[in-house]
Structure 1
């Protein structure tokens, strides 16, 4: 053993392990943004090393320019350098220096790649090349290449700091958009090929994700030269309604130091996207593109489902229910509603859908490549009957061949689905697709890229006039499309009757949930169809209770209603009154552990009443809307119940705790969290929120309520422990508080003259203490 120890010490102190035998190369100053020119000094760890460098994107060799002294950089450029000494060479150093680019407001990606890869007239992938067809779309052109090339990328954030740099794979990306002078491209991280397993940076601030296997730098597809954010705008609607979409962030790209314009960071839709966004292993998902192109896994269950549709009518509820076990019908319905609304004439076959390889897995659709929507086809696109287009039984060919409309045509055979489809379409027209929602979003997204657009227009010989025309066209589409869509729906489904103007008014005590998807906080006004019922549900805030409804002045009771309209104008009012939930003292959030590495996260509840409480189907909701539903369970009078994340770890940490339930599907933040409790009818019961600084959170493992009678939504009423808690038993802080309360009560009695009662309390307390000590002895 001693010999092994000596060997390890020798290895640790060796030059190999410490890198002293490696040839290192450093540049001063670092890559970044500079107001004026800089002199870049290159220095190798071996003073006798020869250093060679390039500034055109080419890989440095001994044939490149030899470093003799500081390199003056007075315009944006990329330095790539390599050192040689004693038969060894350094890794290639790549630094981009941005000179006079202080006005840039977007993140920047600097791509360095040998120029011949892109611009060689015979082989360059940015060129048409000699093998291209003479007529559009120039079949055989170089830019249709699928070949991957090694490149180097540096990413700079809006604060001008370099946040990622690495060798990476580069490949031209896109379909017909490859014909545009500004080409889209994709980036591929690979440990084996490039030494980098992921692009490690939080590219999209709205997502927690900090690493990506694949990314796309998109030229806005068919929207190139137009708004440059049309697809991002449309997919933001998809995100709002729960569809899978690509994250978006506008940026600037420089290639070998040359400005290359505005690009859009987008996630690349591969099996890695599914792994990164939904937690599945990359080899445990099926991903299909277009008609039957398998990108990952298998299409076996998809083919079987489609075969069933062709051979069986979904007018039968039994057949429809079976299909719902194979595909997520609600997801597909939302997907089709959005594609029809935006009049995406390219949606028929330009599709991606996926399914996890697990029992009960269902096919879901991913929204992408929507540039043909929102008026791209022309000013009067809002007049197009896309409902007929997406349900046509015989297109007969692109963009809506029969295979591409089969799913929706089959589902619409079912009367219940027809009602749900039309009802949800009207919901979306009244909210997500309403012009009062869309136009402010257009303005907001336009304002982000507007400061950078003049330079982009100049680079690609574009005009501000065309950009403004396309932005205005999208706004006009948003204003006029809903009326046309309701007409198309009435014509296709006349059984649902004429328009109804429906208003909802809500007082300050809660919200109204309309058709399960619209949250009405104050007022709502929308158009529905007379023969199509709407569903409303009153949801009181904490500290309030629902009283009743008033429909056109008439009282209606019941928290949930299904309303059938009798006229063309109706007003519904929801009336709430102050009041706590009856079980507010029976289900108290009493102790929370969020940083105990031994037990994992858990929440303790206490019943401070004299009655047992059935909490079956009650719900815990977290800050990010994740939920836990209680199974059949009862919290007994003056007793506790604990819900934990990891049952095995919890049992090991607290073997004496028996009254607990495992399976909490979310973790608890140590810094900021809101926990809400709802009963089985979705009435709010209890809540607690906390917010600690990062430094404070490091010192806290558990927080405990000092007294059951205190307001647990006031953080000063909680004790902060630097140790594990006491699940399903009395909190130590509670005992301390009770002792202090008893002493205060004694002093109070003595002060007010109740000396006899005070002495009696002391005698009883002394008797209990002595009794306990005698019992121990």
Structure 2
């Protein structure tokens, strides 16, 4: 509501016209209205500084009934929306719908047939008593008597040549059902009876789509579904997935209704607000998807929209794929290879590279991948090729859409329980919790003892820190109101008492210096005090005044600079994407270079390298900005090592670097280090050239950084510190460990064979015993302990036994075992058998019911 409209609108009623209407259904009203007073505001502004007049006349009609209030009659031109009966279930092919009366007596029933596509229905005519018919115009809550009655749906034509890649021209044979005629198109249009008739083979000599539909000759059958095939002739997919979009030509190119053209209301200046491609129009379309190995994986019917911000004005536009349930439903396929666990998509975007579409085309996808392993919500990225009605349309990125379905797929939260906000307010649920959080946090003193507890109860702090680190490090100008209005901010939480807000990283094209940005701009300061302040910037500014949070933010910032943002890591991700796209770039350039770029292969390579170069320079200024913005005590070099080599690891704050290692941190915020021994070692102590910690024997310490620091964690082999022995007490063998440790595993072996994992061995037989114990990262074994007896002992207790009887003994060799209990009359009352047994037998027998 703070934005200008995208097109002008001439008043209608003054000239006798009918005003436009906007209808909100019940669910939308429930989402929009809050408890208490609600204000509906409508804002009108001039189309330009040269506009001659400004008028507005608005009417609100709500479906209210009241015996106490009288409402005026509605105008003649107002047609209230019709509320239709709605069932809370769906029907699939082969299922049966049954109509019964209140006594459950069946009045009628019918099975759902093949081919009953959206906008077709079944019913009887005359109403309720005639034959079952197919209707091509559903009449819910209305009579069927005026509808055309069709007896069947024409079977779909069969096309012998599958969709796919072919080296040269191929004949296509189409089989049509008896008493039907097939018509076809090659421009994406769904065929009608005015299109060419299938009469013999159709020859496909160039990349194209073929759409075929059959029509019954009798006039009593509805047309078949449209069958589409995509034929790619003598072209390569460059080891990338391919999406073939098929839609009526008018859906794209009609001057008044096509979504891809400027249309009659386009502005004259970039990005041509008012153009058709700025309208939220969607068009029914079809799709075929092929994996990188050229195998067709699925086809779908969906709604096609133009997607994006200013990049809509580019020649190659982004698309939104909306897989609605009224068509073929969700796409059931793992579209993004790096997210194989996500196998169902309600929608997704095909992105043209955004503002980087004319340069490298990969920055936003690369930054999303860079965020892998952090606590940030980020969109998956998968490079692909797109064909539009058979025409090569170039490189795209398959991207997840940040909505309730993303949250459900990635976090397991029911989509109906998601609260989702963007810059304008609530997209799902409401924003009252966020507004409440904003008020509570910004009105609480940062020095309050419970500040972090309150802040952490409202926001996921790990996510919050990583998100603001990423956005400020990459210097995203199109974010948080820094260069213009608040933009590219989304966050979500589950609608429950203890759920916390999480930020979502997307549209990072204006990072890393695009269009004039430079490494010297301090984005921590800009995010705290942007040109257009907002609730998000004010919270960020406020929480950084809390000492504990400030140091958490500083240390995590440095952790990420020392690992994620290091040149070797960033360059590896960029090079991986470059290698994947490079074979496809020449053809993409040949298709688009005259219209939008990249302009040449070398231009693209330079654009890709610019990302790497910018990041390499950004590391230094990011550390400087951190120091200046948060009044720290300068950069300190921290060197870490383990002694002896490979004896252990060191966790510093949130990262586990390979040793030996060095990184930069800041004085004024102590770092936390934890010594983690490798298997076979125990931690001993720390040494440092600057003794700036409390206890050298603690595995986890906090280190204040007043100078550059070299910190070494010392470890010792387990057997040099701890030993174990076996000692005998009565008819039992027990472990003896030289130090008090938390043993989690015992292994008793008799003559080398495992006989027990219990802590105590009962009634041992003759032989040599060894014991191995495991604790922490250690495994130590005893010397052999010999047993030599003249008789064999079995332990039975208690005696007498009333409820349970314990039986304990050891067998030193593999042999059959049978145990039996007899009562005083010599009757068998219990038996247990084992065909092959060796080791310690330790059993509890319930004798409470035995007699």
| Alignment correspondent of 1:123 | 257
Match of 2:559 among 422, 427, 434: 427
TM-score between the two structures when normalised by the length of structure 1: 0.72
CA separation of 1:322 and 1:260: change in aligned 2, threshold 3 A: same
Q: CA offset at residue 36 of structure 1?
A: 1.7
Match in the other structure for 1:230: 363
Report the 3-state secondary structure (helix = DSSP H, G, I; strand = E; otherwise coil) of the residue aligned with 2:557. helix
Q: Could you say which residue in structure 2 is the equivalent of 1:25?
A: 157
Q: Give the secondary structure class of the aligned counterpart of 1:372.
A: coil
Q: Which residue of 1 aligns with 2:829?
A: 776
Taking a change above 3 Å as real, the CA distance of residues 21 and 468 of structure 1, as seen in their structure-2 partners, is: closer
CA distance in 2, matches of 1:553, 1:319: 33
Q: Structure 1's 583 and 226: CA in aligned 2 closer, same or farther, altered over 3 A? A: farther
Q: How many residues align?
A: 604
3-state SS of 1:134 partner: coil
Distance in 2 between the 1:161 and 1:277 partners? Answer: 27
SS at match of 1:66: coil
Cα gap change, 1:501 to 1:78, in 2 (>3 Å): same
CA distance in 2 between counterparts of 1:341 and 1:456 reads 31
Give deviations 1:607-665, integer Å, cap 9, x for gaps: x97799x999x9xxxxxxxxxxxxxxxx99579xxxxxxxxxxxxxxxxxxxxxxxxxx
Structure 1 residue 293: deviation in Å? 2.2
Output one character per residue of 1:435-483: Cα deviation in whole Å (capped at 9) or x when no partner: 1211122111111101101111111112234322322221121111111
Aligned to 1:538: 675
The question of whether the paired residues in 1 share the 8 Å contact of 2:307 and 2:349 is answered with: yes
CA contact (8 A) 1:215 1:267 kept: yes
Q: Which residue of 2 aligns with 1:10?
A: none
Q: Deviations over 1:131-175 (max 9, x none)?
A: 112223322111101011100011100110110101111111111
Q: 2:634 aligned with 1:498, yes or no?
A: yes
Aligned to 1:742: 813
Going from structure 1 to structure 2, the CA distance change for 1:402 and 1:743 (only over 3 Å counts) comes to closer
1:509 and 1:530 map into 2 onto residues whose CA distance is: 29
For residue 348 of structure 2, what is the aligned residue in structure 1?
215
What is residue 289 of structure 1 aligned with on the other side?
422
CA drift of 1:584 comes to: 12
Whether the aligned pair in 2 keeps the contact of 1:215 and 1:268 (CA below 8 Å) is yes
User: Which residue does 2:456 correspond to in 1?
Assistant: 324
Alignment of 1:626-641 (within 5 A): none
Could you say which residue in structure 1 is the equivalent of 2:270?
136
2:156–2:226 CA contact under 8 A, matched in 1? no
Summarize the alignment of residues 318-467 of structure 1 with structure 2, pairs less than 5 Å apart.
Answer: 318-348=450-480, 349=486, 350-378=488-516, 381-392=518-529, 395-397=530-532, 401-461=533-593, 462=597, 463=599, 464-467=601-604
Larger helix share, 1 or 2? 1
2:287 and 2:456 mapped to 1: Cα distance? 44
Is the CA contact 1:546–1:577 (under 8 Å) kept in the aligned structure 2? no
* Contact 1:36–1:74 (CA under 8 A) maintained in structure 2: yes
SS in 2 for 1:519: coil
**Contact 2:689–2:709 (CA under 8 A) maintained in structure 1:** no
User: Residue in 1 aligned with 2:392?
Assistant: 259
| 1:248 has 2:385 as partner | no
Distance 1:345 1:36 in 2: 49
Distance 2:570 2:156 in 1: 53
Q: Return the offset for 1:318.
A: 1.9
Shift of 1:62: 0.8
Structure 2 Cα separation of the partners of residues 363 and 15 of structure 1: 44
Deviations 1:253-297 (A, max 9, x none): 00000000100000111111111111111110100011x421101
Matched-pair contact (CA < 8 Å) for 2:421–2:428 = yes
In the aligned structure 1, how far is the partner of 2:306 from the partner of 2:372? 27
**Superposition RMSD on alpha carbons, in Å?**
3.5
Contact 2:288/2:300 (<8 A) preserved: yes
SS at match of 1:125: coil
Q: Cα 1:103–1:547, aligned 2, differ >3 Å: closer, same or farther?
A: same
Distance in 1 (alpha carbons) for counterparts of 2:536 and 2:113: 61
Say if 2:182 and 2:215, in contact at 8 Å, map to a contact too: yes
Q: Is residue 2:180 matched to residue 1:109?
A: no
2:183 corresponds in structure 1 to 52
For the 8 Å contact 1:241–1:334, the answer to whether it is kept is yes
Deviations 1:42-64 (A, max 9, x none): 113x2342111101000101111
Q: Cα distance 1:413–1:129, how it changes in 2: closer, same or farther (>3 A)?
A: same
Distance (whole Å) between structure 2 residues aligned to residue 479 and residue 62 of structure 1: 62
Structure 2 contact 820–828 (Cα < 8 Å) conserved: no
Q: Any gaps of 5 or more consecutive residues in structure 2? A: 1-110, 117-151, 481-485, 726-732, 745-756, 762-773, 785-808, 831-851
> Is the aligned partner of 1:577 residue 2:717?
yes
Does residue 268 in structure 1 map to residue 401 in structure 2?
yes
Which of 1 and 2 has greater Rg? 2
TM-score, normalized by length of structure 2?
Answer: 0.66
**Alignment partner of 2:337: what SS?**
coil
